[in-house]
């Protein structure tokens, strides 16, 4: 009796561990943890860890395991890592993608393997069109640039020079700003594009100053804003009477406080501010800082946090099933309250719909923040909206 009992117990243990092994859902998280965009990797990694600390690691009876890989910001490496994660680790999701070329490099793999690709950072409009398995929790540059153009016209700015990083999101920012600004009667004096790698802004700032615009509209990706502002000040543009306006990528919460008081008063538009006034955001910022030696979350962190939410809620909806089509069906139309405000995934485009806030850099409790003062609610990506009409 005793022996039979022991054998039964041993068999049960074996079965249980086999079931447990099956019940792990793996998420391949590919981020630039080193290289020029390392701050984006650091922010998203911290946010994903916080999401799991707050919500636990078990979803629909399965254990969610995140496998973090560093692509150093190089697309060939992103692609190889994605392939390995799909083939060797059998991940149910691919997630992360700190820059547009990195997100695009993985799109064919997502399509072929039928694995959802959750874009937590990159912001070029076309990304979601590269695979039916892509969904985005970050933003598009058109989402923030069109409201910036609108605000500029309404506030007496008539002539603008644009200065953007010369790749996908920069071109989107330049074009969508200019289109709206010109449609409302404004003039674009110069459209300047600066190399993404090792940018030297000085010659472009000289051109901008020579054109004597009312304002300089700027996009550089997260992590590059401080260097831009340093050169802006070194060339004396802060005292030239040319107003600095930007997407919130420039006045990045990760760097803003170190940029100095020269930033006070800079108007910019974006999807997230660490100073966003809501109970959900206060709890998020406090927990994030506590877990990360006081580091302030930026818009990349919130993209990572919401990307993890999408993974968890999709799994809940499928009852833990990891079939790619079922997960994508669950993702489409999902809506929730993010630390940034209310958001949803457009069921037609799989892109994010979110509020865009007009903000002014100001001091709060001795620190520089983007203080929101106007809200454009439920903004769909304007580039895709225009294509539809
Ligand atoms: C991108 C767009 C990257 C906006 C960013 O920071 C950003 C991109 C790294 O699509 O590459 O702020």
pLDDT 10s digits, 78-106: 999 999 999 999 999 999 999 999 999 99
Is residue 355 within 8 Å of 144, Cβ to Cβ?
no
> What element of type H or E holds 338?
strand 335-338
Strand partners, 83: none
Q: How confident is the model at residue 55 (pLDDT cuts 50, 70, 90)?
A: very high
What is the C-alpha separation between 227 and 244, in angstroms, rounded? Answer: 15
With pLDDT > 70 as the criterion, what percentage of the chain qualifies?
94
pLDDT in tens, 317-353: 999 999 999 999 999 999 999 999 999 999 999 999 9
What local confidence, expressed as pLDDT, does residue 29 receive?
99
Does ligand 1 have an atom closer than 6 angstroms to the CB of 248?
no
* 163 pLDDT higher than 80: yes
> Which two structure tokens, joined as six digits, stand for 371?
């203080």
Q: Provide mean pLDDT across the span 358-386.
A: 96
* 11 pLDDT higher than 60: no
Closest ligand 1 atom, residue 122 Cα: 10
Does ligand 1 have an atom closer than 6 angstroms to the CB of 298?
no
> Which two structure tokens, joined as six digits, stand for 11?
């068999």
Rounded to the nearest angstrom, the distance between the alpha carbon of 347 and the centre of ligand 1 is 23
3-state secondary structure of 183: helix
What local confidence, expressed as pLDDT, does residue 387 receive?
83
Say which residue the tokens 């962190």 belong to. Answer: 301
Closest C-alpha to ligand 1, atom 1: 122
Tell me which residue of 236, 233, 101 sits closest to 171, measured CA to CA: 101
* 1 pLDDT higher than 50: no
pTM strictly above 0.85: yes
Closest ligand 1 atom, residue 102 Cα: 11
> Which two structure tokens, joined as six digits, stand for 13?
């243990």
What is the C-alpha separation between 25 and 314, in angstroms, rounded? Answer: 12
pLDDT in tens, 185-221: 999 999 999 999 999 999 999 999 999 999 999 999 9
């Amino acid at each position: 009796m005793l022996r039979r009992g022991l054998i039964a117990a041993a068999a049960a243990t074996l079965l249980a561990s086999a079931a447990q092994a099956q019940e792990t859902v793996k998420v391949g998280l590919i981020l630039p943890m080193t290289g020029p965009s390392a701050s984006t990797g650091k922010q998203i990694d911290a946010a994903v860890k916080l999401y799991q600390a707050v919500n636990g690691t078990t979803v629909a009876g399965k254990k969610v395991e995140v496998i973090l890989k560093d692509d150093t910001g190089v697309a060939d490496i992103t692609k190889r890592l994605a392939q390995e994660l799909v083939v060797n680790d059998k991940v149910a999701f691919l997630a992360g993608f700190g820059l547009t070329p990195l997100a695009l490099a993985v799109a064919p793999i997502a399509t072929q393997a039928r694995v959802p690709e959750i874009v937590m950072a990159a912001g070029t409009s076309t990304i979601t069109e590269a695979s039916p398995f892509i969904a985005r929790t970050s933003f598009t540059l058109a989402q923030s640039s069109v409201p910036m153009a609108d605000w500029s016209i309404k506030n007496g700015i008539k002539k603008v020079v644009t200065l953007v990083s010369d790749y996908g999101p920069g071109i989107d920012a330049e074009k969508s700003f200019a289109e709206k600004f010109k449609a409302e009667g404004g003039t674009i004096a110069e459209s300047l594009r600066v190399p993404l790698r090792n940018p030297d802004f000085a010659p472009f700032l000289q051109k901008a100053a020579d054109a004597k615009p009312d304002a300089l509209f700027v996009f550089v990706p997260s992590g590059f804003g401080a260097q831009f502002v340093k050169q802006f000040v070194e060339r004396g543009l802060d005292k030239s009477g040319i107003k600095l306006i930007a997407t919130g990528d420039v006045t990045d919460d990760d760097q803003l406080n170190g940029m100095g008081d020269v930033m006070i008063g800079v108007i910019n538009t974006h999807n997230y501010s660490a100073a966003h006034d809501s109970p959900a955001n206060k709890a998020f910022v406090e927990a994030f800082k506590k877990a990360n030696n006081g580091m302030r979350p930026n818009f990349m962190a919130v993209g990572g946090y919401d990307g993890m939410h999408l993974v968890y809620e999709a799994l809940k909806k499928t009852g833990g099933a990891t079939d790619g089509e079922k997960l994508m069906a669950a993702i489409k139309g999902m809506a929730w309250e993010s630390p940034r405000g209310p958001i949803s995934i457009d069921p037609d485009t799989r892109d994010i719909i979110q509020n865009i806030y007009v903000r002014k850099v100001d001091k709060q409790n001795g620190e520089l923040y983007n203080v929101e003062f106007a809200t454009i609610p439920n903004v769909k990506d304007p580039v895709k909206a225009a294509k539809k009409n």
